[in-house]
Structure 1
Amino acid sequence: MASSSSSIASEPQLTIVDGGLDEEFALTVKWSGKEYTVLLSGDDTLGELKKRICEVTTVLPKRQKLLYPKLSAKLGDDSILLSDLRLKPSVKMTMIGSVEDDIIVDQIDSPDIMDDFEMGHDEYVDIKDKESNKHKLRRRIKHCKINLRNPCREGKKLLVLDIDYTLFDHRSTAENPLELMRPHLHEFLAVVYTEYDIMIWSATSMKWVELKMGQLGVLNNPNYKITALVDSLAMITVQSDTRGTFDCKPLGVIWAKFSEFYNSKNTIMFDDLRRNFVMNPQNGLAIRPFRKAHINRSSDNELVKLTQYLLAISELSDLSNLDHRRWESYLESSFKRRKNS
């Protein structure tokens, strides 16, 4: 028993040191002989807490196990609000977890989110205008870091791309990752790079993003350059009266970090999950998911058509005026106009 007690005591500990749950408060993180400070608020979820812990310890959220007296049953639900946990200022929370030196790309490291949903206009407005969600965005802007791999280019629009099921079939198996790459990927990136800076944003860890993009030859291709890679730590957990809590990718983080170059008028995001652009619905295009690569790679031409769409809209001054749900109709009309001119 003494040995077990000693083992738990040596794990990283979180101690609330200031503030209340109705406002921003600090957690002191003790890990590997050092102390870190994590800022949170009562309307953050347990999942947000794990992301903050990951930022300072590099222990991925999915590898963390949080222990707290009498709350063990609740600590398995990442959607629960910290305010509902009724944490006390003197509390000590134990986190058990380890840093991954070598990433293992499997079903755990590349989560499969299938419960996407379509929402009406009023629902989108409710989510993006909700003050608690705006507050989360402001805090994410304050604490998130996005490192540029290549300089932003003056006068270029911005294309933000998801990975899983957008550029890559991450569920099928293959001896070579290139067999799971979406057809025409490099041609697509090379052509759109003439008009758009390109950022890759995945709901996974940075290690997975770098590994997968490296395996696909995206990071060192001579015909285009990737401006930045963005991972799950830049996402926020939003609250909806009808949909509950879920994670999304707020473009406002990128716009705030690089306001001299990008904004709502010159940015478009491709993602197979509509939920990921609920904070900026006018800038999101729901791409058809690329699954069952071995069966569909010979017939999938989504990126070919989307290349044409991106070029067709590249001269517009405001992309947010477009309804990207009707991108194929817009492309067809564009072809007719050119043919008749």
Structure 2
Amino acid sequence: MAASASNSSSSEEEITLTVKWSGKEYTVRVCGDDSVAELKRRICELTNVLPKRQKLLYPKVGSKLADDSLLLSQLPLKSSLKMTMIGTVEDDIIVDQVDSPEIVDDFELGKDEVIDIKDKDVNKQKLRRRISIYKIELRNPCREGKKLLVLDIDYTLFDHRSPAENPLQLMRPFLHEFLTAAYAEYDIMIWSATSIRWVELKMGQLGVLSNPNYKITALLDHLAMITVQSDYRGTFDCKPLGLIWAQFPEFYSSRNTIMFDDLRRNFVMNPQNGLVIKPFRKAHANRDSDQELMKLTQYLLAIAELDDLSHLDHNNWELYSEDGPKRRRHA
């Protein structure tokens, strides 16, 4: 493993790692301010071994590489040593994500804390690096004059943990009606914290990728996410919309983008554009009563006429009314 410094600060130091896996050696470039989770994402880009399948071995580090939140600058990386990765590619049989750890503590971030995170230079640098590395592949062309709707999958469109013989039993009620209505005013991208192959599999099984009434503009996966640091919450992953805006600036910006996710932390780099959707869990018990997508359809269509969405408080979306005075009061 070779290490070289591009800045005097250890946190900004660029590190070139040699990772050995399955008889081959791979070169991975990271920075000291990256986390172990970020390192695993980079390794996944080269090997297709999902981060959750990776076991990293490095002399005298012990179990520290199992802590995804640990920063690489905290590890004693030496130029003469190589890192070994043990892991299996999920080829034809894709293991469902139900065995992945579930995030249940969607902590509330204070307003000042959110501002601090999104304005930190180190986090802006991570976003710039991600923009340079991750290229969004369009499934369908961006449409002039349309706003952008970015959707999470797990617990937003789909209950990924309940057992079922058919994935359609776990689909959120009114999903296709919701997407059809939204498509009239919005381009639609789907962004999941899982692998792109799992995104394609689930969306294919639910009929989202082949529905004749709407088209999905692009799919994004965990490799598009970045790890940020909070002085109070430590390190965690988030979905920076700036990645999309940088690659399609002529179509999308903070003014015309809205993102649905059941985890508020995913909005930390763009808090004004995020709407926390009620999680869809226990599909068998709730699929006859869940009205969330139907209600949000009305909201999306009502705000679509606005020139700038960035001034809306999406926390109050249920109070939003097409009645003029009420709209101005809650905007």
1:331 Cα deviation after fit: 3.0
Correspondences of 1:61-100 after superposition (within 5 Å): 61-100=51-90
Cα-to-partner distance string for 1:244-273 (whole Å, 9 max, x where unaligned): 100000001111111111111000000000
3-state secondary structure, aligned to 1:319? coil
8 Å Cα contact 2:20/2:82 also seen in 1? no
Q: What residue is the counterpart of 2:268 in the other structure?
A: 278
Q: What residue is the counterpart of 2:191 in the other structure?
A: 201
1:141 Cα deviation after fit: 0.7
Q: What residue is the counterpart of 1:315 in the other structure?
A: 305
3-state secondary structure, aligned to 1:239? strand
Check 1:146–1:166 CA distance in 2 against 1; reply closer, same or farther (3 A cut): same
Q: Which amino acid aligns with 1:303?
A: L
Aligned length: 322
Q: Which amino acid aligns with 1:298?
A: D
Cα-to-partner distance string for 1:67-107 (whole Å, 9 max, x where unaligned): 11111121111111100002112221111112110211142
Q: What residue is the counterpart of 1:131 in the other structure?
A: 121
Q: Which amino acid aligns with 1:187?
A: E
Correspondences of 1:179-258 after superposition (within 5 Å): 179-258=169-248
Q: 2: distance between equivalents of 1:88 and 1:106?
A: 35
Extract unaligned runs of 5+ from structure 1: 1-14
1:37 Cα deviation after fit: 3.0
Q: Which amino acid aligns with 1:213?
A: M
Q: What residue is the counterpart of 1:6 in the other structure?
A: none
1:174 Cα deviation after fit: 1.2
Cα-to-partner distance string for 1:159-180 (whole Å, 9 max, x where unaligned): 0000000000111111111111
Q: Which amino acid aligns with 2:273?
A: N
Q: What residue is the counterpart of 1:105 in the other structure?
A: 96
Q: 2: distance between equivalents of 1:194 and 1:26?
A: 46
- Choose 194-203 or 87-96, whichever is displaced more: 87-96
8 Å Cα contact 1:28/1:36 also seen in 2? yes
3-state secondary structure, aligned to 2:28? strand
Q: What residue is the counterpart of 1:265 in the other structure?
A: 255
1:36 Cα deviation after fit: 3.8
8 Å Cα contact 1:45/1:81 also seen in 2? yes
Q: 2: distance between equivalents of 1:71 and 1:36?
A: 20
Q: Which amino acid aligns with 2:132?
A: K
Q: What residue is the counterpart of 2:2 in the other structure?
A: 16
3-state secondary structure, aligned to 1:37? strand
1:39 Cα deviation after fit: 1.8
8 Å Cα contact 1:54/1:61 also seen in 2? yes
Q: What residue is the counterpart of 2:43 in the other structure?
A: 53
- Choose 33-42 or 151-160, whichever is displaced more: 33-42
- TM-score normalised to the size of structure 2? 0.93
Q: Which amino acid aligns with 2:103?
A: I
Extract unaligned runs of 5+ from structure 2: none
- TM-score normalised to the size of structure 1? 0.91
Percent of aligned pairs with the same amino acid: 74
Q: Which amino acid aligns with 2:95?
A: I
3-state secondary structure, aligned to 1:183? coil
